[in-house]
A = this chain, B = another copy of it.
Amino acid sequence: MKSSLKDIENAKKRITPYINETPILTSSLLNTWLGHEIFFKAECFQKIGAFKARGACNTLAWLLERGERPDHIVANSSGNHSQAVAYAASQFKIPATIFMPNYSSQVKISATQSYGAKVVLCESRDIADEKVREAAEQDGAYWIPPYNHEQVVCGQGTAVYEALTDLQDIDAVFAPCGGGGLLSGSLIASRGLSPSTKVIGVEPLNANDAAESLRSGTIQHLNEVPDTLADGAMTMAVGNVTFEYLKQLDEFYEIEEDYLIYWTQWLTHLLKCRIEPTCAMPMEAIRRWLRTQKTKQRVLMVISGGNIDQQTTNKIWERNCLETTPSLFE
C-alpha cells in the first residue's frame, strides 16, 4: 500500500484543530435484537455534517506543511465535498471556488456559500467538471478532488483510526463505497492498528461499479446516472488511487434499495441521528455478515454523513418500516 498507518497518524495530527472527534454511538435495543455488539462512528456530527471535512482539511494542511500554499482552491461537486472544501479553505483563509451542477440542492449551495466559498452553478455535471479543469490550470490554483488523492484518502481514514484507537477487539469494520476514499482510508487505518480486523465494503446494487470492478480486476464505469437513494455512492467509477486499496478488502456487499430505506428509518429511530441512506446501507451488510458468524461479534460501522434534502427525506419515510423490528433472520 502506498500510504501507511504513519500517514494516517500524520493526517490525524494535522486536522485535529479543524475537525470534531465524533462520538461512537450504540443502541442497546439493536444489540439485544441482533445478539451482537455494533458500534457506530457518527460522522454526521462532523464539521459540515459528513466525514468529507477530514480529507479536505488534511489535503490543505499537508500542502501548507510542504510550503506549497495555494492562492486559490477549486473543486467540483454536487454534494458533501463542496461543503468540505469550502469549510477547509475558510479555515486556512484561502479563497475557494466550487463548481456545482445547477440541480444541486439549495441547502448544500447555501451551506457552501455560508462557509465563504464562491459557488459557480453549471448547467450539468460535465460542464462543472470541465470548468474546474480549466480553473485548476491557472497559476496558484489547487484542485482538491473528492477521493482520488492519497492525502484525501488518509484524511478520511482518520475516522476509523479514532474509532479503533478507542475500541478494542473489533472483528469487522464496514463502510460505504462511493469513489472509495473513505473505504481506502479505513483499510489503511484498520490494517495498521488491528491487522486481524476484517474490512468490508458496501455499495448499492443499483450503482455497483466498484463490485463489478473488483470482479473483473479493472475499473468499470457505470453507463448512466444510477437510480439509488444512496446519493453518496452514485460516483460513476472509483479512481486508480482508491482501486489499489479496494482490491485488498476482505469482502464486498451489494445492497438493494428497500434495505437502504429500512435501515435509514431504523438507525434514525434508534440512534436519534440524521442519517443519509448511503450511511445506513452498511447495516444490511452487517446483518447478512452476522448471519454467517458462529460467535458473538463486535462490529464497527461508519455513519458517513447526515446531509439529506427534503425530497429524499420524503422518499425514505413514504412507507412505515418501523413496524418490523430488526432481526438477524427474516
Interface residues of A (CB under 8 A from B): 23, 29, 32, 44-45, 49, 105-107, 110-111, 114, 265, 268-269, 271-274, 306-311, 313-314, 317-323, 325
Which residue of B has the minimal Cβ distance to A268? B274
Shortest Cβ distance from A312 into chain B, in angstroms?
Answer: 9
CB contacts (< 8 Å) of A49 on chain B: these are 272
In the complex, which of the residues B23, B110, B307, B317 contacts A314, with contact meaning CB atoms closer than 8 Å?
Answer: B317
Can you pick out 7 interface pairs between chain A and chain B where the beta carbons lie within 8 Å of each other?
Answer: A106-B323, A107-B269, A269-B307, A269-B308, A273-B274, A274-B274, A314-B317
CB contacts (< 8 Å) of A23 on chain B: these are 23
9 residue pairs, one from A and one from B, having the closest CB atoms: A310-B320, A272-B306, A272-B274, A44-B272, A313-B317, A107-B322, A106-B323, A314-B317, A268-B274
Which residue of B has the minimal Cβ distance to A275? B272
CB contacts (< 8 Å) of A307 on chain B: these are 269
Contact B306 A310, beta carbon cutoff 8 Å: no
Known contacts A45-B272, A268-B274, A274-B274; is A322 also within 8 Å of B306 by CB? no
Which residue of B has the minimal Cβ distance to A115? B29
Q: Which of A44, A111, A313, A319 has the most CB of B within 10 A?
A: A313
Shortest Cβ distance from A46 into chain B, in angstroms?
Answer: 9
Which residue of B has the minimal Cβ distance to A114? B29
Known contacts A49-B272, A106-B323; is A111 also within 8 Å of B29 by CB? yes
Which residue of B has the minimal Cβ distance to A46? B272
CB contacts (< 8 Å) of A269 on chain B: these are 107, 274, 307-308
Contact A325 B32, beta carbon cutoff 8 Å: no
Q: How far is the CA of A269 from the CA of B269 in the complex (A)?
A: 15
Shortest Cβ distance from A325 into chain B, in angstroms?
Answer: 6
